[in-house]
Amino acid sequence: MTDPTLHRLAADRLAIEGVSLEIDGGRFAAKVVAGRPVSIEADIFSDGHDEIDAAFLWRPRGAADFIEEPMEFLVNDRWTATVTFPEPGDYEISFIAWRDLFATWRKEVTKKHAAGQNIALELEEGRRLIDTACGSEGRAHREAKARLKDLLKADKALAKGAGADTDAARFAQLGAPEVLALMQEVGPRTNATPYKVLPLYADREAAAFSAWYEIMPRSQSGDVNRHGTFDDVIARLPYVRDLGFDVLYFPPIHPIGKTNRKGRNNSLTAQEGEPGSPYAIGSDEGGHDALHPELGSFDDFRRLVDAARDHGLEIALDFAIQCSPDHPWIREHPEWFDWRPDGTIKFAENPPKKYEDIVNVHFYRDALPGLWYALRDVVLFWVGHGVRIFRVDNPHTKPFPFWEWMIAEVRDKHPDVIFLAEAFTRPKVMKRLAKVGFSQSYSYFTWRNEKAEITDYLTELTQEECRHYMRPNFFVNTPDINPKFLQTSGRPGFRTRLVLAATLGGNYGVYNGYEICEAAPVPGKEEYLNSEKYEIRAWDMDQPGHIKDDIRLMNRLRRDHPALQGFDNLSFYHAGNDQVLAYGKQAGDDFVLIHVNLDPHNVQSFQFEVPLWEFGLPDDASVEVRDLIHGNSFTWHGKYQWLELDPETRPYAIWQIFAPGVPR
C-alpha cells in the first residue's frame, strides 16, 4: 500500500528557507516600491553534491501565470534575484528550485576529462540528457530545442570516429557554455520543489520617499481674528513648495462640536468665538464627510487639491475616528457607541489626559459591520474628492482586524492610496499596524537624541525583519508633541533634528512653526503653549533666526541624490566623539556621507574614518569629495580626517564621495 506521506515528503527534495520577504510565515504581505528594483533572497540547497538551480516567481494577484526570474548563487547556500514590480498593487511571489542534471554532468565530466580518464560512457549519458530535453513536452522553446537537435546530429557525426581526440572534440561540443545555457532554458527540472505562495504589496514611490509639511488651514488667513479658508491655503502653496515639500497635511477639516468645546490652551471651557479642537469632529453641520463651513465648500476644496497638484504637492488628510458629543452618528447610530448606566457616553481618555469634547465609537457587537462599512466609505468619499494620502489618528486604539480589512478594501479599488499610522505606542503594536497594511508609521525618532540610541534604533529599523514591512516617517514635531530637546536646544537643535530626520529616513515631516524654531512649552510638558489646536494663530515665517534655508537645502539634496531616497541603505561610521553621529547612504555610484553635531551648545572636534572600504580601496587611498553644502570639491588622502562642527555656525556637514572612475 502506497504511503501518501512518503511520496509528499519525497517530492520536496530541495530545501527553500530563510526567505527575505516572508512575514510571519506568509500571514502578512511584505512591502516594496513599484518601479524600484528590489533584491529577494532565500536559502536554497539540497543533499549531495549535485548542481542545483532556482527561480523567483511573481505575478499580480489574480493573474493565471507566474513570471519567472532566474536566481543567482551568492554564498553559503544563499540565492538572490533582483526584480522590479511595475505597478502599485497586490502581488503573489514564490520560488522554485530543482536539481540540474546536465550542469552536474558537465561539472563531473570536466574533472574526469582534465584527469585524462576515459569519458566515452559519460558522453553517451550527456547525449541522453540532451535528447530527453528535446523530447520533453513541458517548457517548450522551439528554437532552443531545434538547436539542441542540430547539436545531436553534429555529435552523431563526430562519434563515428574513435579515440581520445574524438572524445575531446565531442565533449567540447556537448559541454560548451552555450549548450549549458540552452539546457538551462529547456532541460528537465529534476525534483522541482516549489515554495508556498506569499503575498506582497507594491506601493507607489511616495509611500517610501516623501517630505511632509503640516498646517492648520484655519490659521492661514494671517489674522487671528479671521478663520482661514481653502483660498488662504491656496495662497500659501508657493511657500510650501519653495521649501521643497511634496505632501501638505491637514488635521481634521470637519465641523467641530460645541458640547464641552475646549478653549485656549486646552481649558475646559471655551470662550465665545473660540474655535475648539479640530479633533472634536461633528456637529449639526455634519460629520466625517462634511467640511467646516468657514473653510469653504467642496468646490473650494477641489480647487485646492488641483492647485496643490499644480505646485507639485499632494494633500493629505487626517482620518480621526472620534466624535464630538454633537456628531450626527450618535443620533443616527446609537448602537455604535458605549452607553453608561446613566444614559451618557464616556468621553475619551488617555490617562492622565482627558478629552471631554470627544467620545469614541466601539467596533463590535451591534456596530459590526455597519460602522466598519461607514468608516471605509468615509475614506472612499475623500478619495473621490482627490485625496490619496491619509494620516490616521491613534490607530493603535482601534482593532487590528478593522485596519486590515479597511485598508485592503480601499486599496483594492485605489492601489495608490497611502496610510500613515500615528501610533506612538509599544513597539510590537506599531509593527503589527505596519503588517496589517499601513504604508508609513510614526516612530520613536522624536525621542531618540543620543548617539547610541539613534544608532541602535535606526539599526533595528533598517537591518531587522521590520525593514520589509514598516516604513517610518520621522516627524520632528507635531501639534501634540513639542519635544524637550527642542525646548532647550535653540536654533542649533532645530537644525540638527531637521538634518537627522531628512537624511536618516526616506519619509520625514515638520509641523509649521518649526522653521522659526517655535518651542514655547506648557511648563513641564511636551506640549506647545498657545497651541493652535485650540486657537487660530497668525504666523510670521520671516522672523530672525528662521531655518528655511536649511529646509530648502535638505529637500533639494533629497531630490538630487538617489542615495538619500533609500532607507535600508543606511550605514553608520566611526567618528571619535560621542557627540557626533557619522553615517552614509549609497545608491549605485551616489555615495553621501553625513556628520551631525548632536550637542546644540558646544563646538565638537573629532577624527573620522573615510569609508574607503566601501569602494574596495586600501586605507592609504585617496578619494575625490564634494562639499554638498558649499559646492567646492577637493581630495581626501587616507582613511583618517579631522573636522570641527560649531552648532552656532552649522551643526552638520554633508559630503559626496566619488569612487575612482566615477564622473563628477
Decide the pairing of beta strands 473-475 and 507-511.
parallel
Question: Alpha-carbon distance 421 to 403, whole Å?
Answer: 10
Name the one residue in this structure whose C-alpha cell is 519653495.
242
- Residue 533 annotated in ligand binding: yes
Euclidean distance between CA atoms 256 and 275, whole angstroms: 8
Per-residue exposure over 562-590, b if at least 16 CB sit within 10 Å of its own CB, e if not? bbbbbbeebebbebebebbbbbbbbeeeb
Q: How many whole angstroms separate alpha carbon 236 and alpha carbon 217?
A: 10
Q: Is 357 annotated as a binding residue?
A: yes
Question: Is residue 112 part of an annotated ligand binding site?
Answer: no
For the record, the C-alpha cell of 362 comes out as 466601539
Residue 536 makes CB contacts below 8 A (sequence gap 6+) with: 218, 219, 221, 224, 225, 226, 227, 228, 275
CA distances from 158 to 117, 146, 163, 180 (A): 19, 19, 11, 19
Query: CA–CA separation, 436 vs 406, rounded Å?
Result: 10
Question: Which sign does the torsion angle of CA 461, 462, 467, 470 carry?
Answer: positive
- Known binding residue 451? Answer is no
* CB contact at 8 A, 59 and 68: no
CA 90 from chain center: how many Å? Answer: 15
State the cell numbers at 367. Answer: 456596530
Taking CA atoms, 269 is separated from 149, 274, 292, 465, in Å, by 90, 10, 21, 48
Decide: helix, strand or coil at residue 49: coil
Q: Which of 422, 515, 532, 550 is catalytic?
A: 422
Considering only CA atoms, which of 430, 393, 426, 390 is closest in space to residue 410? 390
Among 214, 393, 515, 550, the active-site one is 393
Annotated active-site residue 393? The verdict is yes
Contact between 428 and 470 under an 8 Å Cβ cutoff? The reply is no
Q: Which long-range contacts (CB under 8 A, 24 or more apart) does 310-314 make?
A: 311/237, 311/238, 311/240, 311/241, 312/241, 312/246, 313/237, 313/240, 313/241, 313/245, 313/246, 313/247, 313/248, 314/206, 314/246, 314/247, 314/248, 314/388, 314/389
Q: Is residue 364 marked as binding?
A: no
Q: How many angstroms separate the CA atoms of 429 and 396, rounded?
A: 7
User: Which grid cell is 286?
Assistant: 455634519
Neighbouring-strand partners of residue 68? 57
Known catalytic residue: 77? Answer: no
Q: Is 31 annotated as a binding residue?
A: no
Cell numbers found for residue 479? 501639534
Long-range contacts of 521-527 (CB under 8 A, 24+ apart): 521/482, 521/484, 521/487, 522/265, 525/482, 526/481, 526/482, 526/483, 526/484, 526/487, 527/266, 527/480, 527/481, 527/482
- Binding residues for alpha-maltose 1-phosphate, as ranges, are 262, 322, 357, 394, 533-534
Active site residues: 393, 422
Extract the annotated binding site: 262, 322, 357, 394, 533-534
